[in-house]
């Protein structure tokens, strides 16, 4: 089948759109990326989002308007990536505007019916609510796909996604069903915010980690930040902008403000690398290989620091496994969308804390009966 996966993460850098060819296999899926693009949010939408997200608060009217505007933006992204090709289904994650996993509260916006009408295809969406209803955090959901794509019979592996928030999946060799996963804390989010603040909004990231690479770590501040409560929580746990946005800067901003931009970024990059590596060692897991994805893979300094701290694990980008690192999450939601259409459970209770394994996702139907018949036929012959 031809599917579109749409993902827009906490970084607010835009909409990741993956056009994939997906075929069920004996165990898992064959997944081929046909085309991938990130469509940046336009300035008006970005401004509206930023002014509604924590620590701001939006009225119900603002939330409804965002739901509509995001739906239009997702529809444009889906249309652009499809570029005239017939699509069997779209899996749309939506833009998270609030996430409090411990309370089973999470909200992704982006009207799925705008997407359906834009590309004339069934849209699977709202992947997190079912897990929350089952007592889970609703996150992380990608570990299910990590296990399908990356687990190996011969070596222990971890998959690490360096998005705004960083998360990791443990993929033990002897038992691929034993995947566990959680959000480790900040990925790029704090670095992005620090750069934005220092540049008065002119820059949005430490491109390639060039600034951090010339900075010196403030060891005392790093130790203080690593003392944040989140890092000591035992999984399941998930986090977002609510914790690692401006509140975090409220706590440490004064000390960061005394550092040069280079030293501040070196310290924040080290916080990301250390919190990930500490989470691995605290779990008593000694992976042979770490498979990286997400925009943070472009930050050479962050990747080098992470590799140093994860040594002797072999650290490589997911393209070594045939999955381009920027496209991984959008591709993963295409897989979760297929599972929605099959009605198969696709959360990992060990990762989310849900009491049971449940089918995820809602469906905005377009010729749904035909689509489900195709799904059934494909699965029967896999
Ligand atoms: N060339 C680059 N150098 C450094 N960081 C980068 C680069 N490209 C992307 N990033 C980082 O990756 C982030 C986007 O990553 P992404 O995986 O899309 O995260 P999210 O899922 O939170 O949207 C950007 O905000 C930025 O911090
Ligand atoms: Mg992104």
pLDDT tens digits, one per residue of 292-323: 999 999 999 999 999 999 999 999 999 999 99
Do 119 and 202 belong to one domain?
A: no
Rounded CA-CA distance 380/378 in Å is 5
Do 154 and 301 belong to one domain?
A: yes
Specify the pLDDT at position 78: 98
pLDDT tens-place values along the chain, 382 residues long: 999 999 999 999 999 999 999 999 988 999 999 999 999 999 999 999 999 987 788 899 999 999 999 999 999 999 999 999 999 999 999 999 999 999 999 999 999 999 999 999 999 999 999 999 999 999 999 999 999 999 999 999 999 999 999 999 999 997 867 899 999 999 999 999 999 999 999 999 999 999 999 999 999 999 999 999 999 999 999 999 889 988 898 899 999 999 999 999 999 999 999 999 999 999 999 999 999 999 999 999 999 999 999 999 999 999 999 999 999 999 999 999 999 999 999 999 999 999 999 999 999 999 999 999 999 999 999 8
Rounded CA-CA distance 75/282 in Å is 42
3: CB partners within 8 A, 6+ apart: 19, 20, 21, 22, 87, 88, 89, 90, 91, 334, 337, 338
Do 151 and 127 belong to one domain?
A: no
Which of 321, 338, 367 marks a domain boundary? Answer: 321
Which of 321, 337, 359 marks a domain boundary? Answer: 321
**Ligand 1 proximal residues by C-beta, below 6 Å:** 9-11, 13, 163-164, 188, 192, 205-209, 294-296, 298-299
Testing ligand 1's pocket by substitution, the residue of 40, 70, 191, 205 carrying the most ligand atoms inside 8 A of its CB is: 205
Q: Closest ligand 1 atom, CA of 293?
A: 17
**How many structural domains does the chain have?**
2
Do 304 and 159 belong to one domain?
A: yes
Specify the pLDDT at position 147: 94
Rounded CA-CA distance 216/284 in Å is 30
Do 269 and 363 belong to one domain?
A: no
Do 149 and 134 belong to one domain?
A: no
Specify the pLDDT at position 285: 92
Do 65 and 167 belong to one domain?
A: no
Ligand nearest to the backbone CA of 333: 1
Do 152 and 299 belong to one domain?
A: yes
Distance 307 CA to ligand 2 centre (A): 22
Rounded CA-CA distance 187/97 in Å is 18
Q: Closest ligand 1 atom, CA of 207?
A: 3
Closest residue CA from atom 7 of ligand 1: 298
Do 57 and 87 belong to one domain?
A: yes
Residue 299: give its domain's CATH number. 3.30.420.40
Domain span at 370: 2-138+326-380
Specify the pLDDT at position 214: 98
Specify the pLDDT at position 72: 98
Do 297 and 148 belong to one domain?
A: yes
Q: Which of 208, 194, 200, 201 is nearest to 265 (CA)?
A: 194
Which of 321, 347, 365 marks a domain boundary? Answer: 321
Do 33 and 84 belong to one domain?
A: yes
Closest residue CA from atom 20 of ligand 1: 9
Do 65 and 211 belong to one domain?
A: no
Cα dihedral sign, 24-89-323-94: negative
């Amino acid at each position: 089948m031809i599917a579109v996966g749409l993902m827009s993460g906490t970084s607010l850098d835009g909409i990741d759109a993956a056009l994939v060819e997906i075929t069920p296999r004996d165990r898992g899926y064959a997944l081929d990326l046909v085309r991938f693009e990130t469509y940046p949010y336009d300035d008006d939408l970005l401004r509206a989002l930023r002014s509604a997200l924590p620590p701001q608060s939006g009225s119900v009217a603002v939330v409804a308007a965002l739901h509509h505007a995001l739906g239009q933006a997702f529809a444009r992204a889906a249309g652009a990536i499809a570029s005239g090709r017939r699509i069997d289904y779209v899996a749309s994650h939506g833009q998270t505007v609030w996430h409090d996993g411990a309370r089973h509260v999470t909200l992704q916006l982006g009207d799925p019916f705008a997407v359906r009408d834009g590309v004339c295809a069934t849209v699977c969406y709202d992947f997190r609510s079912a897990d929350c209803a089952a007592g889970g955090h609703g996150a992380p959901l990608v570990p299910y796909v990590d296990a399908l794509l990356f687990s190996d019979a011969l070596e222990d592996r971890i998959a690490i996604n360096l998005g705004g928030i960083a998360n990791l999946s443990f993929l033990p060799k002897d038992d691929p069903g034993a995947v566990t996963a959680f959000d480790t804390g900040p990925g790029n989010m704090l670095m992005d915010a620090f750069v934005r603040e220092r540049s008065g909004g002119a820059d949005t990231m430490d491109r390639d980690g060039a600034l951090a690479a010339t900075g010196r770590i403030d060891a005392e501040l790093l130790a203080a930040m690593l003392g944040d409560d989140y890092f000591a929580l035992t999984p399941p746990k998930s986090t977002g902008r609510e914790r690692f946005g401006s509140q975090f800067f409220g706590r440490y901003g004064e000390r960061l403000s005394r550092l040069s931009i280079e030293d501040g970024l070196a310290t924040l990059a080290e916080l990301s690398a250390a919190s990930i590596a500490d989470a691995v060692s605290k779990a008593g897991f000694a992976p042979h290989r770490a498979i990286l994805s997400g925009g943070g893979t472009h930050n050479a300094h962050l990747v080098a620091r992470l590799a140093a701290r994860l040594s002797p694990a072999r650290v490589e980008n997911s393209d070594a496994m045939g999955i381009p690192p920027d496209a991984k999450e959008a591709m993963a939601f295409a897989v979760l969308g297929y599972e929605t259409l099959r009605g198969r459970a696709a959360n990992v209770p060990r990762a989310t804390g849900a009491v049971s394994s449940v089918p995820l996702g809602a469906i905005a139907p377009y010729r749904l009966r035909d689509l489900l018949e195709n799904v059934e036929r494909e699965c029967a012959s896999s």
